[in-house]
Structure 1
Amino acid sequence: MTADAFARDPDEHYPQVLATPVMIAEMERACAALLRPLLQSGDLSVGARLEVSHVAPTPVGGQVRTSARFTGREGALYWFDVWSEDDGGKIGQGRHARAILPQSAIESRAAARPGS
């Protein structure tokens, strides 16, 4: 991982380890990749639920691998087990649910929200 993937803020103190939001983003991407073959033209998959534990730190320069396994469908939600590992073993694990929706519907809902 490169330095931009690590938690930092000039007014706060964080360790030089992989930031949890970056790990979560990789987990979401791994699940989204598994859904790609199901997407119709104009569809996207979107994250709907997430339960994650970040259990070990990864130092700058560490290599992280993220994997996902489809576990089932509940209504409109596609559920996955997801985990990330570095050379020392597991660094994070959890469950993630995604839904498939038309991109136009997602953007219309966002545009209708206050502040749009």
Structure 2
Amino acid sequence: MRPIDVGASATHTHQVEAADCATNWGNDLPVLATPVLLWLAEITAMRVIEDHLDDGEMTVGYGHTATHLAATPQGWTVRLHARLTRVDKKLLHFEVTAEDDRDVVFKGEHVRAVVDRDRFVERLDSKALAGPVPR
């Protein structure tokens, strides 16, 4: 990975569509689902570092510590902001926040790991070939 300054940031804007709603996750309310909000946080963090990865590198989600603070209705826009707060060898730590047109709806930390893409795919293929462990 090429050097990147702590404090580097990115923003991602997303309009909440029916496919993003909690109604698709076992809830009966047409609001932005928490799993989708976490995914949007990951996308935003990836944007911070996308131009700093070397050929053959990629990042994978490693962890979340997050709080979903308020609901965002279908049709509304949510804006996410990610800021790199720390680089710990191959782990990248991001502060992520989101707001809609009324509230701060999300605050948290997202951690991504820098990995060798070919090695990752090789391990995944090997696992898929081996199949699940009988229980």
Question: What secondary structure sits across from 2:41 in the alignment?
Answer: helix
Deviation at 1:18, TM superposition (A): 0.4
- 1:98 aligns with 112
Q: Does 1:4 align with 2:19?
A: yes
Question: Which string of whole-angstrom CA distances, capped at 9 and with x for unpartnered residues, describes residues 11-66 of structure 1?
Answer: x4421110011111110011011111211112111111111111100011111001
In structure 1, what is the Cα distance between the partners aligned to 2:55 and 2:107?
Answer: 31
TM-aligned CA distance change 1:9 to 1:46, over 3 Å: closer
- For normalisation by structure 1, the TM-score amounts to 0.90
| SS of the residue 1:60 aligns to | coil
Instruction: In structure 1, give the amino acid aligned to 2:131.
Output: G
1:5-24 aligned at under 5 Å gives the runs: 5-9=20-24, 12-24=26-38
Which consecutive aligned stretches of 4+ in structure 1 deviate over 3 angstroms post-superposition?
A: none
Corresponding position of 1:55 = 69
Name the CA distance, whole Å, in 1 between partners of 2:49 and 2:86: 12
Stretches of structure 1 that go unaligned for 5 or more consecutive residues are none
- For 2:131 and 2:23, the matched residues in 1 are separated by 28
**Residues 11-90 of structure 1 mapped to structure 2, 5 A cutoff:** 12-90=26-104
Task: In structure 1, give the amino acid aligned to 2:83.
Answer: R
User: How far does residue 112 in structure 1 lie from its aligned partner after superposition?
Assistant: 2.5
Q: CA deviation at 1:9?
A: 4.6
Cα deviation for residue 7 of structure 1 reads: 1.6
Look up the equivalent residue of 1:33 and give its one-letter code: R
Residues 71 and 79 in structure 1, CA contact (< 8 A), matched pair in contact too: yes
* Maintained 8 Å contact 1:72/1:79: yes
Q: TM-score, normalised by structure 2?
A: 0.78
List alignment gaps of at least 5 residues for structure 2. 1-15
Alignment root-mean-square deviation, CA: 1.7
Identity among equivalent pairs (%): 30
